[in-house]
Amino acid sequence: MLEETDVNSWEEFEDKLDKLRGESRSADEAESQLWFRGQENACWPLTTTLDRNTQGAVLFKDYYRLIDRVKPQIESFTGKEWDIPTYPEVAAGVRNYDYLRLHLDGWPRYEYLAYLRHHGFPSPLLDWSRSSRVAAYFAFCNAADDHVRRASIFVFSEERFTSRTDVAPNIFRLGPYVKTHRRHFLQQSDYTICLAFQNGWRFGRYAEVFERSNHHQGVYRKFNIPSSERMKVLRLLDEYNLNELSLFESEEALMKTLTFRELPKLRLGG
């Protein structure tokens, strides 16, 4: 199940997160790792950009054919190259249960999938951060600044022993170790992918996992924070140099950061 909690302020969220970190440490000899994801609207479920751009189940082989087809255009434009398996090889391989389950960090090349995700191409990867404050930035940077709506921060902790079924969707963590765009490292990124196997691999939806009360896919919590905390949180993060510029390092990010810092100083004529 997905545990959901409403808090009244950023400070209350940090207090609950400190307690959660303490519980994670006490439950294991080594400090348990937590991963975080921020979303600007608490009504939004955990969904990938591929989920939001498609309807119904997508077969892995069909998605792979798509990203294989667009790869020459991306390589021509960027000057980058990715050495990934051919579509016929993957289409044949994903009919085998072990083909993906045992090689999720390399089939197809993880670095290509991560690059696509960071540049806006519909992706089956759900991105997380090892930093709660990076997640907070993404939760509040475009959130509605009002007293009605809430932003959310998801917290994921991986269970030491996971159990998975063959047919129902399962969540796999891919890990941070991949050579890809520098944003991956600036944002302390990690990724999960939801997959199910039934005569071949397909992408699943996270809601399908959470509907199973004993899914043993890790512990997922969701904290909903009032959107009215937006400016307070963003100013706090900017003091730590955590802003659009530090996370994206683009000219557009520079302009957005300068606007945030300087526009409030503008004096309006009477």
Q: Count of CB atoms within 10 A of residue 47's CB?
A: 14
Q: Are residues 13 and 65 in the same domain?
A: yes
Q: Are residues 126 and 220 in the same domain?
A: yes
**pLDDT digit string (tens) for 242-258?**
999 999 999 999 999 99
Q: Are residues 135 and 259 in the same domain?
A: no
Q: What's the pLDDT score for residue 29?
A: 41
**pLDDT digit string (tens) for 138-193?**
999 999 888 889 999 999 987 654 555 666 888 888 888 888 889 999 999 999 99
Closest residue by Cα to residue 20 from 189, 229, 227, 220: 220
Read off the pLDDT of each residue in 8-33 and give the average, rounded to a whole number.
80
Q: Are residues 115 and 33 in the same domain?
A: yes
Q: Are residues 248 and 145 in the same domain?
A: no
Q: Are residues 206 and 117 in the same domain?
A: yes
Cα–Cα distance measured from residue 220 to residue 46, given in angstroms and rounded to the nearest whole number:
10
Closest residue by Cα to residue 191 from 36, 45, 20: 36
**pLDDT digit string (tens) for 73-123?**
999 999 999 999 999 999 999 998 888 776 766 666 888 999 999 999 999
Q: Are residues 188 and 268 in the same domain?
A: no
Q: Are residues 182 and 268 in the same domain?
A: no
The first and second tokens of residue 159, run together, are 């269970």
Q: Are residues 144 and 19 in the same domain?
A: yes
* Residue ranges with strand state E in the chain: 2-6, 34-39, 126-129, 150-157, 170-173, 189-197, 201-203, 219-226
**pLDDT digit string (tens) for 178-218?**
888 899 999 999 999 999 998 889 999 998 888 776 667 78
Closest residue by Cα to residue 130 from 86, 190, 74, 214: 190
> How many separate domains does the chain show?
2
Read off the pLDDT of each residue in 52-76 and give the average, rounded to a whole number.
94
Cα–Cα distance measured from residue 162 to residue 216, given in angstroms and rounded to the nearest whole number:
5
Q: Are residues 248 and 122 in the same domain?
A: no
Domain holding 175, by residue range, is 2-239
Q: Are residues 221 and 250 in the same domain?
A: no
End-to-end alpha-carbon separation of the chain, Å? 55
Q: Are residues 174 and 267 in the same domain?
A: no
